[in-house]
Amino acid sequence: MLSSQTKDQANHECMLRLKKHGLTPESIVVTDSAVLQKLIYPVGFYKNKTRFIKEMSQILIDQYGGDIPNNIEGLLKLPGVGKKMAHLCMRSAWNIVTGIGVDTHVHRIANWLKWVPKETKNPEETRQALEKWLPYEMWDEVNHMLVGFGQTICTSRFPRCNDCLNASICPARGKQPIRSTPIKKEVKMEDLEF
């Protein structure tokens, strides 16, 4: 839940703080909201996520013995959990692939690469389109593979097409302003002064 709209580094640091504080539904429920907000800041929408985390923690205690549901339907009933998060959670927690976790990066890249038959308007449409043709065995890899690629190379603004190994076959190349990445000059030992 915390990773949505949040850079990986900020999410990682937040998780370290939460683990140090005590990352169980029981410890979250008794933590004051102001303290929890400080623990998860600067994740995106930290105030809403604080409320969702506290509500979810109470539900997990009351209905699931402090664990999380082991099915999509149960996960989707939790505050702040959508289909992407539910599918990723099923894979991470229960090692069950129930669908492709499509976030903004997967949505954008799938459209740019024409992996969907027609342009999709949102991540859920993209998920449905991808699941129609991608073999089930590949569903698990799509999110992991494309999120990092979308964060570093195939960015929404100024993609790094000059650094991309797929540039020569990419149908989207040139449709977005491209970031010019300077070529690193090779330094020779004899050019160094000591």
pLDDT in tens, 84-106: 999 999 999 999 999 999 999 99
Domains of the chain: 8-94 (1.10.340.30), 104-163 (1.10.1670.10)
Task: Give 30-44 pLDDT, tens digit per residue.
Answer: 999 999 999 999 898
Alpha-carbon gap, residue 103 to 143, rounded angstroms? 8
Catalytic residues: 84
Helix%, strand%, coil% for the chain, nearest 5: 55, 0, 45
Q: Residue length, the chain?
A: 194
Helix (H, G, I), strand (E, B) or coil at 20: helix
Per-residue pLDDT of the chain (194 residues; tens, 9 = 90+): 888 877 888 889 999 999 999 999 999 999 999 999 999 998 989 999 999 999 999 999 999 999 999 999 999 999 999 999 999 999 999 999 999 999 999 999 999 999 999 999 999 999 999 999 999 999 999 998 999 899 899 999 899 999 999 999 999 987 777 776 554 445 455 554 43
